Structures are given as C-alpha cells and as structure tokens.
Amino acid sequence: MAVLKVRKYGDPILRRRAEPVGAITSEIRTIVADMVDTMYDEVGIGLAAPQVGVSLRLLVVGDEETREARALINPVITDQSGQATAEEGCLSIPGIFAPVTRAAWVRMEALDPGGQTVKMDARGLLARVLQHEIDHLDGVLFIDRLDPVTRDRIKRKIRKEGLSEGASHHAFAL
C-alpha cells in the first residue's frame, strides 16, 4: 500500500462536507489500506478521507495498544451523552494542541469495508477520536470547537509559523 500526503490547514478540501460512499469497491478498499498506512506513518490515532484529499465519508481509527486499525464507512453518531474536555491535536494542523469539549460517550453506526453494518458504543479516547474524525467529514476542524479567544490565538500562531503551507511535523494527533 502507500503513504498518502496529509492535507494541511488552509486546504479547501478540509472545509467541504464529504460525499457518502456508494458502492464499496476495490478502489475504496485500497483507499482504506492507504489511509491506515498514512495514519501510522504520521503517528496518528485517526484519519478521515478528506485529510488525504479524498472527499468521501470514510475514516480509520487505530488501537494504540494492538496497532489494529478499523475502517468506518458513512459513519453516523446516533446518540451521545455527557461531556469531557481533553487536549486534541490534528495531523492537518501539526504542532497545535488545545482543550476541546466533546461528548463523553457516543453510539455510532457505519459500514465496514465488507459492507456489513457496524454498531459501536465508545467512551474515552475512542469516543473523542470518532467525533474528531466525523467532524472532518463535515468540514469541521477541532479549532472550530474552541472558544473565540483561543481560536483566534491559534489562528495567529498558525499564520506566524506558516503551518498552513504544509509544514511537515510529526505529532501524536487525531
């Protein structure tokens, strides 16, 4: 498989709502495999298709301990509860981290690469990763979920450091 280029902050594809996946073809399965390779190469724990230039509702999440990856096609959060705030980063905004409040628990439905329905309840880090990656599918970045003062400070830092020009930094990020 192949390691794909991760799109960085400022790339218009990161702000578009991704299209649903229709048929799960061999091309889709190849994209999934390439996304898994890319996620691990970038030391990430999740990756959405728009982050590699593919505007489809597809994401991969990795298990930190087993290094097993799971692909989720057309994922939808069907229920959520509670709140939890934790530091987040993003492979598309390297080197930037900030506290984000999200649901503490989510229920999600999706398809796997074999076309089977997957239903998943998640809490903790997995719930956070799923919400972060599904946000990418909707054209939302984690910095959009910050309070205005923090968001403006981070945007100034991004401009100052030129991160929107595709700087190559490795960070443990979503």
Catalytic status, residue 133:
yes
Task: Name the one residue in this structure whose structure tokens are 């990418």.
Answer: 136
Q: Please give the Cα distance from 125 to 33 (Å, whole number).
A: 23
Give DSSP secondary structure letters for 75-125.
EEEEEEE--EEEEEEETTEEEEEEEEEE-SEEEEEEE-TTS-EEEEEEEHH
Give the angle 114-38-160 at the CA atoms, nearest 5°: 135
Q: Is 166 left (phi over 0), alpha (psi -120 to 50) or beta?
A: left
Catalytic residue among 68, 133, 161, 165: 133
Give the catalytic positions in this structure.
133
